[in-house]
Amino acid sequence: MKERLLVAMSGGVDSSVAALLLQRQGHDLVGAYMKNWINEDQVIGHCPWQQDIEDARAVCDRLGIEFQVVNLMREYRERVVAYLLDGYARGLTPNPDIMCNREIKFGVFRAWARDHGFAGVATGHYAQRVDRGDGTYALAEGADRNKDQSYFLALLNQAQLADARFPIGHLAKPAVRQLAREAGLPNAEKKDSQGICFIGEVRMQDFLRAYVPDAPGPIVRATDGKVLGEHRGLHFYTLGQRKGIGIPSNTDHQAYVVVGKRSDDRALLVAFDHPDAPGLFQREVRVHSLSWIGASVARPGRLEGRVRYRDPRVALEFVPESATTALIRFAEPQRGLASGQILALHDGPVLLGGGVYL
C-alpha cells in the first residue's frame, strides 16, 4: 500500500538506499536531515554536518524527491547530550546512540512527521520490522549479522515501531553498496560514519573534558589497595577498559583493567586483566528502566541477551522484580558490564526490549 513517508537522510549510503527502495515501491517520499549538533561550542574535532546535508540533498535531487532540514538541536541537547553528560558525571556509562533513537529519531522527529501528515519514518537501520498480522509488530535482527543494529533500538515501544520503516534490514551491506552504484547515487562510495555526529572525530574523553569538570582521585589496585597513580576523573573510565588508564603494565607485561569505581574517595579500581580479576566478570546483574517493544515479560523464564553492541546473544534467566526492574542470571559470566549501559533482551532473533544496568 502506497504511503507518505519521511526518510531520515543522514547523508550516508544506508539511508540513501532506504529512500531508493521505498521510491521503487511507489511510496510518496520526502527526505529530511535532522540537524542535531553543529559544533557551536567549538569542541575540538570535526562534525561534518554541512557535508552530510549536501550529500543528503544530492541524493534527493538524484531521486527527484523533496528534501528538508529539520532543526532538532534544542531537543537533542535536552534529551541526548544532557543525558550523556549527566550519566558520565555520575560515574555511569550511558549509551547516546540508543537514547537518540528513542528520543530523537523515533521521538520528536517521528512526532514532527506525524504533525506534517506522514504515515511513518524510514531509516537506514539494519533491522527488520515484522508484521504479526494482528495489528502489532515485532522487531528482528538485521539479515546482515555483521551490520545488525537492532541493539540500538532496544528501548523503542510498540507505537514507535509501528511508525518505523527499515527498508534495508533484509540486505547485506555489499548489496546496499551495489544498489547505490547501480542507481548512480552520488554517495555510493562514501565511508560509513563513526560514532555520533555531535562527537564527530573527537575522542569521547576530549568531549567530556570540555563539559564535565575534572575530579581527580587515586588509581588503586583492587587486590591489595596499593595506590598506583592518579586519574583526572572517574567519568573518563568504564568497567572493563584496558587502554588509556595511565599506568604501565607490570614487569611481566600484565596489563591492568578497570574493575570498579569507588565514589567516597573517587578511587578508580584496577586489577590485572585476568578472568579472576575482582569485579570484572559478573554472573548476576540487576537492570532498571525496563522497556518492552511488545507485551512485557512478567514471569521468570529463560531468554537471551545482548550485553553490548556486536556481542553475540547469550543465554540468561530473567527474573522480574517489579514492572521496571529485574534480576538477570547469565548462564556464563559476562565481562565488563558497566552501570548505565543497556542490556537488549531477546527471544532468539526477535528483540523483546531492554533495560539499564544498575
Q: Cβ distance 287 to 326 under 8 Å?
A: yes
Task: Quote the CA–CA distance of 153 and 354 in Å, as a whole number.
Answer: 9
Of the candidates 17, 34, 84, 100, the residue annotated as catalytic is: 100
Return the C-alpha cell found at 168.
534495508
Cβ(106)–Cβ(226) below 8 Å? no
Reading across the β-sheet that carries 217-221, which strands appear in turn?
227-231, 217-221, 267-272, 256-262
Active site residue 60: no
Q: How many CA atoms lie within 13 A of 191 on its CB side?
A: 4
Active site residue 47: no
- Which DSSP letter does residue 255 get? P
Terminal-residue alpha carbon distance, the chain: 44
Answer whether 278's CB lies under 8 Å from 222's CB.
yes
Question: Are 52 and 10 spatial neighbours (Cβ–Cβ below 8 Å)?
Answer: yes
- CA–centroid distance for 264 within its chain: 30
CA distance 68 to 56: 10
Distance CA 314, CA 335 (A): 12
Secondary structure string (H, E, C) spanning 87-143: HHHCCCCCCHHHHHHHHHHHHHHHHHHHHCCCCEEECCCCEEEEECCCCCEEEEECC
Closest CA to 163 of 78, 77, 102: 102
Catalytic residue among 5, 34, 197, 259: 197
CB 17 within 8 A of CB 168: yes
Active site residues: 100, 197
